Amino acid sequence: MGSGASAHGQKTIYLDVDGKIQKVVFSQHSSPAEIKELLCASAGLPWQAAIILLDKKGTVVATDSTIPKNSKSSAYRIVSRSISPRPEKEDFFQNILSQVTEEFSRAFRVTEMKREVMERLAMLERRMEVEGLKAIDIDKCKNELKNLRDEMEKKTSRLSCPCRFYYSEDIKKLNPRRDVPTYPKYTLSSETIDALKKPTFDVWHWEYNEMLSCLEFMYHDLGLVREFNMNPITLKRWLLCIQENYRTNPFHNFRHCFCVTQMMYGMIHLCNLQEKMSLIELGVLMTSAVCHDLDHPGYNNTYQINAHTELAIRYNDMSPLENHHCAVAFQILAQPENNIFANITPELFKQIRQSIIRLILATDMARHGEILESFKKVLPNFDFSNEDHVKTLQMVLIKCCDISNEVRPTKVAEPWVDCLLEEYFMQSDREKSEGLPVTPFMDRDKVTKPKAQIGFIKFVLIPMFESVMKLFPHIEEVMVLPLREARDHYEELMEIEEALAEVQQKKSATLSIGGKLQVSA
């Protein structure tokens, strides 16, 4: 259950931090500034602290990629130097100087990489000349490839629709962020930390920066940062990139992402999963919750398939949205600046990737019955040491969290219904305007809030949460009872609606009869 070996091209050194040996792993291509940040983080110092690295003999060691490797017995020591306060203007110019230095360092690295590439190209050209392939043939091949690529792009553009999705190279939000994210680090109170672990947490009182800090806290609190040897700054960058790649839909937005992840964090504590699952399995649950609706366009799979959108065509009508969420998640992780799993083995990353894909695909409601039935079959003899049992439970857990709003108090849950209906009505209006089949439960002319919720709570939410309750009986009070109360609440609203409709109908009938009598008289 360890963090895994360092990847190729990385260097490992050991630090003596107050008598405790700390292992530090970094890339040989890391800049001095990045290495210094990592050393400060490992020693528990602020990133802007001035430090000196000393070996066993007290000799100063350079804090760059040339740091000699050492062993635990010859661990380096970090000495923090106090810095006298400088005027604000001097700090400003010092920051500019640091950025300029960093840019020069990058430029030199780019120059070195260009030199290596040119050498390899020269070697390949010499080999092609030996094999008799002339330069004119190469140019011809390049032109043919360019023409073919242009033709493919033209064909792709014909498949586009008003609901346009883009490939990774077109998504500007996914551009790497080399700067340290600027969202402030909030110190969470003990009351907030306690509230985060409960379904009653009010997700409407928090700004995006505060939600990012809460998510960051969850990863540290569960021990995931330590387990996967995550760079804390990379975790910040990743979370910020995740937030930027949720669209501003009425419902499927970053606040929904936070809502689902907070519920997952709460269920981990409520069900005491830390003692039943490995940290790797908990990391998969949390990361899947964070990524589960990335770049959601606000129009569901039914619309994608009926409208023959680029997504539906790309994924052959099979869970197009969920496949897209997975793809965007791993496009983000493919960037070194955002790869929170950079310091684990390729084998472990492959395992984590497969698990995250499995869980995100499980959020497609078209698979609800299939997944719930699989869980009910293993429930009587559920065994946490059985890998297949745990996989099935993980799928049910992320489904529970994804649609868990009605578990929350009414004042927290009801605004989400309004947001969902707004998104539904946007889709049904679009379906009508484009001549597509209108999804019945989204039609603004037919659906009301009670109608939308009663059937969903009675036939989807309650049966699923009651199944989970058989494995974790203590969730009945905090999760199942609120669902039953929500059902009763909407049934009362439905009775009021029907009574008002009946009164209105009688009133209309009376007016109609009165009009006829007046005409006949």
Catalytic entry in 29, 205, 220, 252: 252
pLDDT score for 157: 40
pLDDT score for 438: 95
Mean pLDDT for 442-454 is: 92
For this structure, is 252 an active site residue?
yes
418: annotated binding-site residue? no
Distance of alpha carbon 452 from alpha carbon 491, whole angstroms: 11
Q: For residues 19 and 302, which has the higher predicted lDDT (pLDDT)?
A: 302
pTM value is: 0.66
> Do the beta carbons of residue 400 and residue 267 sit within 8 Å?
yes
Instruction: Tell how strand 20-27 and strand 60-61 pair up.
Output: unpaired
Tokens of 93: 């110019």
Mean pLDDT for 141-170 is: 49
What is the percent of the chain with per-residue pLDDT over 90, rounded to a whole number? 58
Tokens of 411: 């004042």
317: annotated binding-site residue? no
Judge whether residue 166 has pLDDT over 50. no
Q: Which helix (H) or strand (E) holds 134?
A: none
Distance of alpha carbon 431 from alpha carbon 411, whole angstroms: 31
pLDDT score for 130: 55
Mean pLDDT for 183-197 is: 87
- Mean of per-residue pLDDT scores for the chain: 85
Q: Which CATH class is domain 198-501?
A: mainly alpha
The tens digit of pLDDT for each residue in 334-353 reads: 999 999 999 999 999 999 99
256: annotated binding-site residue? yes
Judge whether residue 31 has pLDDT over 50. yes
Query: What are the domain boundaries of the chain?
Result: 10-80, 90-139, 198-501
The tens digit of pLDDT for each residue in 226-250 reads: 999 999 999 999 999 999 999 999 9
Mean pLDDT for 23-32 is: 80
29: annotated binding-site residue? no
The DSSP 8-state label assigned to residue 339 in this structure reads -
Mean pLDDT for 303-308 is: 97
Q: Which CATH class is domain 10-80?
A: alpha beta
pLDDT score for 329: 98
Mean pLDDT for 353-364 is: 98
What residues contact residue 463 under an 8 Å CB cut-off, 6+ apart? Answer: 372
Strand order in the sheet with 76-81: 20-27, 10-17, 76-81, 50-54, 60-61
First to last CA, the chain: 90
Sorting pLDDT into bands at 50, 70 and 90, what band is 152? low
